[in-house]
Every structure is written in structure tokens, then in C-alpha cells.
């Protein structure tokens, strides 16, 4: 029995293509990344727990990686972690205009 050409007439959903540039599958839970980062800015205890588990590479969105790095730097220097200090750190790192 002849097999049909599997690629002929096949439409590729851009959401399912592997991003070869970064070698990652497109994001599935950007909202979850935002929740984790938000919780880290609200709850100091949460930062203590998350900082040992995650790394910037755990975040798909590049902006989220920058935010995590800023939070990490603030944590390492025992600075308060909130929206203002994270924004200031991002500006200092030239990651925010």
C-alpha cells in the first residue's frame, strides 16, 4: 500500500514549531512564569525557596530571565525585593529603559 506524502498539504502551526535558535519548545505557561516572578517580589520566604530551584534558563521569555536575574542579584546583596528595587536593578543592568 502506498503511503501518502505526510508533508504534502500539511500546515504547520507556528505555535508548535521548535525554536531552533534557542533550542526550546515555544512557551506553554508564560502566565505561570509571571506568577512565580510576582510571588518572588511579594514574599521573601518564597524567594529563599525558589532561588535554589530555578535559574534564568527556566524561564522561556527573555524579559522574565532578566527579571529573575535582577531578583537574584538583589537577593545575593540582601536588598529588599519589590517592584521598585527590581525595576531599579533592571535599569542598572541596562535591561530596562
Averages of pLDDT over runs of 10 residues in the chain (97 residues) are 47 47 68 95 90 93 97 97 97 94
Whole-Å CA distances, 11 to 26, 75, 82? 17, 46, 44
Q: Answer yes or no: are the C-beta atoms of 64 and 33 closer than 8 Å.
A: yes
pLDDT value at residue 10:
43
Please write the tens of the pLDDT for every residue from 12-30: 444 444 455 556 666 579 9
- Domains detected in the chain: 27-92 (1.10.860.10)
So what's the pLDDT on residue 16?
45
Decide: 47 and 40 in contact? Cβ < 8 Å: yes
Helices (H) and strands (E) in the chain, counts: 4, 0
* Alpha-helical regions (H) of the chain: 30-42, 44-50, 62-76, 83-92
pTM of this structure = 0.72
Q: State the pLDDT at residue 66.
A: 98
Amino acid at each position: 500500500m502506498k503511503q501518502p506524502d505526510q508533508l504534502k498539504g500539511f500546515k504547520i502551526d507556528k505555535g508548535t514549531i521548535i525554536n531552533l535558535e534557542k533550542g526550546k519548545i515555544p512557551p506553554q505557561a508564560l502566565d505561570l512564569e509571571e506568577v512565580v516572578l510576582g510571588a518572588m517580589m511579594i514574599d521573601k520566604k518564597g524567594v529563599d525557596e525558589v532561588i535554589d530551584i530555578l535559574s534564568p534558563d527556566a524561564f522561556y521569555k527573555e524579559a522574565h530571565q532578566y527579571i529573575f536575574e535582577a531578583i537574584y542579584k538583589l537577593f545575593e546583596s540582601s536588598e529588599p525585593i519589590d517592584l521598585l528595587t527590581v525595576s531599579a536593578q533592571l535599569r542598572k543592568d541596562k535591561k530596562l529603559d
